[in-house]
Amino acid sequence: MDAARKSIVVLSFEVLKRALLQPETSSLLMFFVLFGITAILQKNFFEAKSIVRTINSFAPLILLAMGQAIVVVSGGIDLSSGAALSLLTCVLTTVMRRDDPVTGVYALIIAFLVALGTGVVNGLGIGYLRIPPVIVTFATSYAWLGIALFLRPTPGGESVPWFRVFYNMRVVEGVPEVLKSLGNYVPPALLLIVGACVLWYVVSRTRTGRYIYAVGSNIESAYVSGINTGKTQMLCLYAQRHFDFPGSSLLCWPEPDWRCPHGGTLDASVHRCGGCGRNCSFWWSGERVPCHCGCAHSWICGKDYLFCQCSQCVPDPGFGHHCHCCHCRSGVCHPASRTPLR
């Protein structure tokens, strides 16, 4: 009996040890610790509205980080993702006209094409011209930023009312009742994230997915094994924009006037997300670790609004220091130090 008990204890320790050694475990542990601290410090953390606002605020960052993760898994990095997001947001808000709902559709189509274009240019540089990803995307980030500034030199722009569907399906007319009722429980931004996760799960189990991991693990071996490494890397850059695209759509409502340089500040956050989630294992990448934990770490670590108990207060991803409803003057956001944003 004692021997059986002993073997159970040993087995339990072995299981625990193996679990702790998994890269996901440390990320998850850190996530839960930070989640707990935030929940304790922020009184309204578990209110439905607060949760929805937090999801909506960080959905673009999460989507961007997921896109970045694909590139990192393939052994690259994209420094231009923030600038590309700015460009897409500028394209959307330039094409859209508030009083003409159909312009929203045109804007989405044009932005989608622009997204693909930016991915293809990066992919050509990295996959076929063999320029280091850091340098290609550094160069293109300036180009995207320049185009974005051409389109929208000053903050502003318009957004069609139905773009609110990305935040709240109930408030938009013409949305089927089924979707509206679903929207009562699940924010659309979360659906986008779940959809992106499912898409990546499926892709990662296909031959293309295996190729991506192979190229990220050892590009030379992958090349010798007959994998078209250039094409695979280009495909990753191209696929990345599929994640940036919905992210940019989310940024167009309720604030279509996000400035072009804002994307630049998102860059660091996106890379931090990847880093925390262990996806930024660059030259020995290929680990199957979701970036969401990393994103959450970045989100919670960057919560300067942590001490703000204002129910309207939601942080800006990328900035961290400002809330949508206020500027924090003293570094600690509390009602006395708040001033209206506009």
Partner 1 sequence: METFLKKTSPWYGWILGSWFPVQYRKAFAILLLTVLLYVGGGVIVPGFLTLEQILLTLKLASFIALFGLCQMIVIVAGGGGLDLSVGYTATLTAVLTASIMDGRNAYLWVALLVALVLGLLVGLANGVLTSYLKLPPLVVTLAMADILQGIVNAYVAGKAITGRPSPVLVTLAAKLTGVFPNILFVLIPVAVLAILVFERTKWGQVLFGVGANERTAYLCGIDVKKVRFLTFVASGILASLIGLLLLGNMGIAFKDMGSNYVMPSIAAVVVGGVPLTGGGGSYFGVILGSIFLQTLINLLTALGLGDAGKWLGFGIILFAMLSVYAGNRRSR
Q: What residue ranges bind partner 1 (CB under 8 A)?
A: 77, 79, 121, 125, 128-132, 134-136, 138-150, 153, 268, 271-272, 275, 280-283, 330-331
- Work out how close the CB of 32 gets to partner 1 at its nearest, in angstroms, rounded to a whole number: 21
Which one, 105 or 129, has the nearer CB to partner 1? 129
Please identify, using beta-carbon distances, which residue of 197 and 301 lies nearer to partner 1.
Answer: 301
DSSP state of 171: G
Token code pair at residue 21: 């050694």
Q: Which is nearer to partner 1, 143 or 197 (CB)?
A: 143
- Cβ of residue 169: shortest distance to partner 1, in angstroms? 36
Distance of CA 172 to the CA centre of its chain: 25
> Which amino acid type is present at position 79?
L
- Following CA atoms 68, 74, 78, 84 in sequence, which dihedral angle do they give, to the nearest 10 degrees? -60
Q: Which is nearer to partner 1, 67 or 127 (CB)?
A: 127
In this structure, the number of other CB atoms found within 10 A of the CB of residue 38 comes to 17
Shortest distance, position 339 Cβ to partner 1, whole Å:
15
- Closest approach, Cβ 77 to partner 1, in A, equals 7
Coil, helix or strand for 44? coil
Minimum distance, C-beta of residue 271 to partner 1, in the bound complex (Å): 6
Q: Can you tell me the distance from the alpha carbon of 271 to that of 282, in angstroms, rounded to the nearest whole number?
A: 11
132, two tokens? 């280091």
Select from 150, 175, 157, 177 the least CA-distant residue to 165.
Answer: 175
Eight-state DSSP code of residue 162 = G
Nearer to partner 1 (CB atom), residue 174 or residue 331:
331
